[in-house]
Amino acid sequence: MKQALSRGRFVAGSAGAAALAFGGGPYVIAAPTKEIVVGLNVPQSGPYAEQGTDQLRAYHLAIDEINAKGGIMGMKIKPTEGDDQTKAGVATENAQRMIERDGAVMITGGSSTGTAVAVSGLCQQKGVIFMATLTHGDETTNQNCHRHTFRRYNDAYMSAQSLAKTLVTKYGTGKWFHITADYAWGHSVYDNITAVVEPKGAKTIKNVLTPFPGTKDFSPMLQQAQAAKPDVLVITEFGADMVLCINQAAQFGLTKSTKILVPLVDEYMAKGTKDNFDNVVSTAPFYWKYHAAKYPGAKKFVDAFQKRYGFPPSNGAETAYADMYIYKMAVEKAGSIDAEKVINALEGTKFQFTKEQEYYRKEDHQGVNSCLVLEGIPEKDRGPGGFEFARVLEVHDGPSVVAPVSSLVCKMETA
């Protein structure tokens, strides 16, 4: 795609005829192909639409760069796209269509653990690589791990470990109140945070669950938080839901009276909350300002993204961009698009694109890379466009915060 995607909804088309034939199980190569079809399965509507649209921008940037240099082993990448609406059923239908109709040999994208787990199961059945993008819940590479799925993005355990190391040191323990999205990701984050901070002296006084998707008013939950007078308020919401909850928390005076923690953030959420995000603590696997100043690969990506679209990339966009290059690396190392050969090329191989040297663990296919702890800054200090939204409090390296292999319940399929 040559034209820049606007910040509004991106309406995607689909790619052409299938180069591969599929039955109920793993794919069978029907004929030699001059193209590699990849499925971009992201939310373009619903509460996570901004995150999905930014992923599409980065995917198209990476695809155009790769194709301009000859593609992958002489084969051009041909994308096919779908709006998963942050609904597991829709995401699965999209992925199945991409595989069976369009001939996709790799599926990527998503902004939800629920959709990631659903698509992961389908890709395992079909024998197709799934490069999960913005999925934070542990389930993606632990409880619901699959051989054909790889997740580079930090998981909830890594964020919880990073936050605990920073928060307990800087702000002590005290009383913690949780407002949690009632689905896989929310439960995963809550379980991880409480497991880390309670042994250090924090007291969890309440966890209020919010319907997902569809919470239009967080006032009843925030009233309970206000009455409890916690030292720390953990708001485990994402995308537009997080923006609404933080802004309503400010109306109750909670952004001034208590330390607010949001487990995961990006530029769009910070911009949507404006000054209400000031002093809020969160995590991210990538922050364009920090990484572009530290790593040449990140600077190249950020500069190219900003030149093309007029603003810097979110962390989900960075993951999307890197996923495309990581897949290219693996196919070239394998010398084939055969899924088993690509899996073997991905497992344990160290690589570096936009961050430090990183890798996927063989045991669960979780990416091992750093996690940033960020703190929001006032809107007046955020620079042009408001995309410089935070200061970096600490950087925790991947090996120090990733879940120990001995703790995993992942039962990975064999080849």
- 310-329: per-residue pLDDT in tens? 999 999 999 999 999 999 99
Least confident span in 3-17, 109-123, 208-222, 231-245: 3-17
Report, as an integer, the average pLDDT of 226-238.
95
**pLDDT at residue 33, as a whole number:** 62
Q: How many CB atoms within 10 Å of residue 273? A: 25
State residue 159's pLDDT score: 94
Which pLDDT score, from 0 to 100, does residue 232 have?
93
Mean pLDDT of 129-147: 97
Domain at 35-154+290-369: CATH architecture = 3-Layer(aba) Sandwich (3.40)
Integer Rg of the chain from CA: 20
In whole numbers, what is the pLDDT of the chain averaged over residues? Answer: 91
Task: Dump pLDDT digits (tens) for 387-413.
Answer: 999 999 999 999 999 999 999 999 999
Note the pLDDT of residue 214: 77
Question: Given this model, what pLDDT does residue 5 score?
Answer: 42
- In the chain, the percentage of residues whose pLDDT exceeds 90 is 82
Determine the pLDDT at residue 213.
78
pLDDT level of residue 8 (50, 70, 90 thresholds): very low
| Residue 12: band (very low, low, confident or very high) from pLDDT cuts 50, 70, 90 | very low
Q: Residue 227 — very low, low, confident or very high, per pLDDT cuts 50/70/90?
A: very high
Nearest CA to 189 out of 178, 199, 200, 198 is that of 178
pTM: 0.89
Across 134-157, average pLDDT: 96
Instruction: State the pLDDT at residue 172.
Output: 66
What CATH number belongs to 157-284+371-401? 3.40.50.2300
E strands along 224-311, which residues? 232-236, 259-262, 281-284
**Per-residue model confidence (pLDDT) at position 17:** 32
Position 14 scores a pLDDT of 34
pLDDT for residue 2 is more than 50:
no
336-368 pLDDT, tens per residue?
A: 999 999 999 999 899 999 999 999 999 999 999
Return the structure tokens found at 375. Answer: 């703190």
Give the pLDDT score at 25.
Answer: 47
pLDDT score of 200 more than 90: no
Q: Which of 121, 129, 241 has its CA nearest to residue 180?
A: 241
Specify whether the CB–CB gap between 221 and 210 falls below 8 A.
yes
Give 55-118 as a DSSP string.
HHHHHHHHHHHHHHTT-BTTBEEEEEEEE-TT-HHHHHHHHHHHHHTT--SEEEE-S-HHHHHH
Report whether 149 contacts 120 (CB < 8 A): yes
CATH 3.40.50.2300 maps onto the chain at 35-154+290-369, 157-284+371-401
d(CA 101, CA 107): 13
Task: Return the number of other C-beta atoms located less than 10 Å from residue 231's C-beta.
Answer: 17
> Which pLDDT tens digit goes with each residue over 273-291?
999 999 999 999 999 999 9
Sequence-separated (6 or more) residues with CB below 8 Å from residue 157: 138, 192, 401, 402, 403
